[in-house]
Amino acid sequence: MVTIRWGKDLTDLGLLWRRRRTRRIIIQIAIAVGVGLFVFYMADKARDLDDLGFDFLSGSGDFPLSTQWLTNYESNDTLLGAYGAGIFNTVRLVVIGIVLATALGVFAGIARLSTNWLVSRLATLYVETIRNTPLLIQIVIWYVVVFLQLPRVEDAIEYSGLFYLSVKGLALPSLTIDGSFGIWVILLVLGAVAAYVLQRWLHRKEEQEGGSKHTVAWAFLLFTVVAVVTYLLTGTPLEPDTPQVVITGANIYSVSGGIQVEPEFAAVLLGLVIYTGAFIAEIVRGGIQALPKGQTEAAAALGLSGYQRLTLIILPQALRIIIPPLTNQFLNLTKNSSLAVVIGYPEIIFVGNTMINKIGHAAPVYLMIFGTYLLLSLAISVGMNAFNRSVQLAGR
């Protein structure tokens, strides 16, 4: 890494203004004065605007939000409530999006390197088409071409009353919570800890004695047993909630109950996942290709199968190279979730714009939006950095 230094070391004996120290001081004073003046000017201008301040948030904007997740906002609630619902909608997109995009990206990245000609061609086609087309257009196309082509509710695709797939979305069975749910969760956490300890113990034994001890399988089994037993002991704290088709008003079909996945959310999610997945695929491919060929050859010489080579030798090493650019993609996905406005999915930019449209106050609303994105980015960066450190340590 190079550092750009100002002035030459040897000129310290020259004229005063040519000395390195002098230049350093002059340049820095100029910056300080410039920034100071700019900030002063902006602050002065800001005082002239009459829409600063955050008091308006306690008022109501009188607008509904068509999609909500975990929140219960109604149109006469405060604007703060509306913005909160927007944050939850953004987080929902980002969290699920990151998980699915990573899965798709890893899959497609490996597929691009497949020895199967057709598979690698298809993966290339996917990457080159999606990466080079604006996401904004893709989201609308997915919405209209995929989700609006689903059958009407009366002809919904269903499976023995468990799920319904229609143009009004996907309804899945869910569980409602009973009183003893908290106790069960605590017991579950204990079970998970016990399973982890078991896995570590078996792993150490594996390293000492050699051979496979099926560490994950045993740990999983322990956890499952704990989960089932405690579930029965606490008196089955969860009740299934299956979706069902209801007919209301003048022959209007809808699905109620269970978990509802709205087509608008699904379209934005699909768009984000497919788009980000294409970029992740390239990162994964590059990460794998960056490994010396000898790694694969040595693994093959040890008699590992193709799947073992990939999961035990290649991916863990590629991961170290992949994580930094992958973090960048996660941050991009977070920022790209703002494009959901194009079909009116109420994430923070949409809610913010609606608020401004109803009651003004553009400057503070954008300040809030930036604060939210900054927080989200910070959370992702911190998390990925911790992950990165753990991976790097494990490897050395």
Query: Which one of residues 28, 58, 236, 244 is an interface residue with another protein (CB under 8 A)?
Result: 28
CA distances from 382 to 18, 43, 247 (A): 44, 32, 48
Q: Which of residues 171-210 bind another protein (CB under 8 A)?
A: none
Shortest gap between Cβ of 187 and another protein (angstroms)?
Answer: 36
Shortest gap between Cβ of 333 and another protein (angstroms)?
Answer: 11
Shortest gap between Cβ of 205 and another protein (angstroms)?
Answer: 32
Q: Which of residues 295-334 bind another protein (CB under 8 A)?
A: 321, 323-325, 327-328
Query: Which one of residues 15, 17, 72, 132 is an interface residue with another protein (CB under 8 A)?
Result: 132
137 belongs to the binding site for another protein (CB under 8 A): yes
95 belongs to the binding site for another protein (CB under 8 A): no
Query: Which one of residues 189, 229, 246, 394 is an interface residue with another protein (CB under 8 A)?
Result: 246
CA distances from 362 to 52, 53, 342, 359 (A): 8, 11, 20, 9
Could you give the 3-state DSSP secondary structure of residue 227? helix
* Residue closest to 69 by CA, chosen among 315, 279, 264, 333: 264
- Quick one: which H or E segment has residue 239? strand 238-241
Give the amino acid at 367: L
Q: Which of residues 138-167 bind another protein (CB under 8 A)?
A: 138, 140-141, 143-145, 148-150, 152-153, 167
User: Cβ closer to another protein: 134 or 179?
Assistant: 134
Number of residues that make up the chain:
396
Give the amino acid at 364: P
251 belongs to the binding site for another protein (CB under 8 A): yes
User: Cβ closer to another protein: 134 or 210?
Assistant: 134
User: Cβ closer to another protein: 222 or 368?
Assistant: 368
Shortest gap between Cβ of 106 and another protein (angstroms)?
Answer: 16
The secondary structure of 123-158 as a DSSP string is HHHHHHHHHTS-HHHHHHHIIIIIGGGSPPGGG-EE
CA distances from 243 to 92, 153, 162, 216 (A): 21, 12, 7, 34
CA distances from 271 to 84, 163, 284, 331, 385 (A): 24, 23, 20, 16, 26
Query: Which one of residues 95, 177, 190, 378 is an interface residue with another protein (CB under 8 A)?
Result: 378
Residues 6+ apart with CB under 8 A from 289: 113
User: Cβ closer to another protein: 238 or 391?
Assistant: 391
User: Cβ closer to another protein: 83 or 184?
Assistant: 83
Q: From CA 190, how far away is CA 82, in angstroms rounded? A: 37
Q: Are 17 and 23 in contact (CB under 8 A)?
A: yes
User: Cβ closer to another protein: 111 or 299?
Assistant: 111
Q: Are 318 and 299 in contact (CB under 8 A)?
A: no
Q: How many residues bind another protein (CB under 8 A)?
A: 119
64 belongs to the binding site for another protein (CB under 8 A): yes
Alpha helices in 247-361 (DSSP H): 263-289, 293-301, 306-308, 315-336, 348-359
Beta bridge partners of 171: 164, 260
Query: Which one of residues 37, 46, 186, 225 is an interface residue with another protein (CB under 8 A)?
Result: 46
Q: Are 222 and 194 in contact (CB under 8 A)?
A: yes
1 belongs to the binding site for another protein (CB under 8 A): yes
Chain Cα centroid distance, residue 321: 20
Query: Which one of residues 42, 186, 216, 394 is an interface residue with another protein (CB under 8 A)?
Result: 42
22 belongs to the binding site for another protein (CB under 8 A): no
Q: Which of residues 329-358 bind another protein (CB under 8 A)?
A: 335-336, 338-339, 341-344, 346, 349-350, 353-354, 356-358
- Would you give the DSSP letter of residue 76? T
Q: Which pair of tokens denotes residue 302? A: 């040890």
User: Cβ closer to another protein: 62 or 297?
Assistant: 62
Shortest gap between Cβ of 217 and another protein (angstroms)?
Answer: 22
Q: Which of residues 253-292 bind another protein (CB under 8 A)?
A: 254, 263-264, 286-287, 289-292
Query: Which one of residues 9, 17, 211, 294 is an interface residue with another protein (CB under 8 A)?
Result: 9
